[in-house]
Structure 1
Amino acid sequence: MMEKAKAFAEEAHRGQKRKSSNEDYIVHPIRVAEILKEAGYRDAVICAGYLHDVAEDTEYSLDDIEKEFGVTVKNLVASHTEDKSKSWQERKQHTIDTVASGSEEIKALIIADKLDNLRSLKKEMDIHGEVVWNFFNAGYDSQKWYNESIAKAIETGHSKNGAPLFFFDYRKLVKQTFD
């Protein structure tokens, strides 16, 4: 199922590039899935890692994901799919709220995505400097609010001893990027 999810995501994201680089978009979902796999999550969560941006950023829908991968994977992807009809602030607040109230698997999917995004951002900042912020719909201050809010929301419903290590990596990277 994981190879099928990877191939589906590769086809769905074919030709897409990352916002702040010339990197093929598919490398992002692959890295998200790898983070989840290394942390020991079950196959459905890893598949959702590959597919997390498909319904949001391609011609494929959540129904397509359900048809190919079942309701469990679809529900995981749906938990992290933004409603593009809403404002940036509303979409990001929804993600923060989902991290605060979601199951550990939903938290893990979102944090793996945000961790990879921040790693990519940090790499691009090291190369290009502050100009990187121009590639985003919201600038530095908004991105700082969003990532710091996600980092704080991780703690809701989680003991420090029970959190996967990459949650701590994310919080540390937020601090390094925005302090």
Structure 2
Amino acid sequence: MIEKAKAFAAKAHQGQKRKNSSEDYVVHPIRVAEILEHAGFREKVICAGYLHDVVEDTPYTLQDIEREFGLDVRDLVAAHTEDKSKSWQERKQHTIDTVREGSFELKALIIADKLDNLRSLQSDIKTYGNEVWKNFNAGADAQKWYNQSIVEVMTNRLNSSDVPNYFDEYIQLVKQTFD
């Protein structure tokens, strides 16, 4: 099922590029899935890593995800999909609330996504400097608020022994990027 999810994501994101880059968009969900796999998450969470942006950024629907990958994967993708009809602030607040109240697997998916985004952002800042912020819907201050808010709530209701190592890397990258 993991290879099927990878192929589905590649087809869905075909022709899309990352912000500030000529890099194919699909490398992002591949890296997210690899973070989850390396941390030892179950197959359905890894599949959700591959598919997490499909509904948000392509013509595919949650029904397509459910039909191909089942309800568990669909529910993880649905919980992490932003409603693009809402403002940036509303969408990001919803994600913060989802991280605060979400299941361990949902938190893991979202933090893997945010970690890969910050890794890319750090690389882009080294290449383009502060010009990088012009390609975002919100500037550096809003991005700082968003990422710091995620850090504040991401371990809510988790035992410290359950927290994957990549959560610590995310914390460090938030500090390096925004402090």
Output the TM-score relative to the length of structure 2.
0.99
- Count how many residue pairs are aligned between Structure 1 and Structure 2: 179
Q: Which residue of 2 aligns with 1:74?
A: 74
- 1:120 paired residue number: 120
Aligned to 1:35: 35
Q: How far, CA to CA, are the matches of 2:168 and 2:160 in structure 1?
A: 9
Task: Quote the offset at 1:155 in angstroms.
Answer: 2.5
Indicate the percent of aligned positions where both proteins have the same amino acid.
Answer: 67
1:52 is the counterpart of 2:52: yes
Gaps of 5+ in 2: none
Deviation at 1:61, TM superposition (A): 0.5
Residue by residue over 1:119-157, the C-alpha shift from the partner in whole angstroms, topping out at 9 and shown as x without a partner, is 000001011111001110000000000000001111211
Alpha-carbon RMSD across the aligned residues, in angstroms, is 0.7
Structure 1 CA distance for aligned equivalents of residues 159 and 175 of structure 2: 20
Alpha-carbon shift at residue 162 of structure 1 (Å): 2.3
CA distance in 2: counterparts of 1:92 and 1:132, whole angstroms: 19
Q: CA deviation at 1:15?
A: 0.1
- Could you tell me how far apart the structure 2 residues matched to 1:41 and 1:96 are? 22
Equivalents in 2 of 1:36, 1:143: separation in Å? Answer: 24
3-state DSSP of counterpart to 2:162: coil
Distance 1:174 1:165 in 2: 15
- Kindly state the Cα deviation for residue 159 of structure 1 after the two structures are TM-superposed: 3.0
Query: What code does the residue aligned with 2:112 have?
Result: A
Gap runs ≥5 in structure 1: none
Moved over 6 A (4+): none
Give the alignment's TM-score, normalised by structure 1. 0.99
SS of match in other structure, 1:161: helix
CA distance in structure 2 between the aligned counterparts of 1:121 and 1:174, rounded to whole angstroms: 11
Q: Identify the residue that residue 147 of structure 2 maps to in structure 1.
A: 147
Aligned position for 1:168: 168
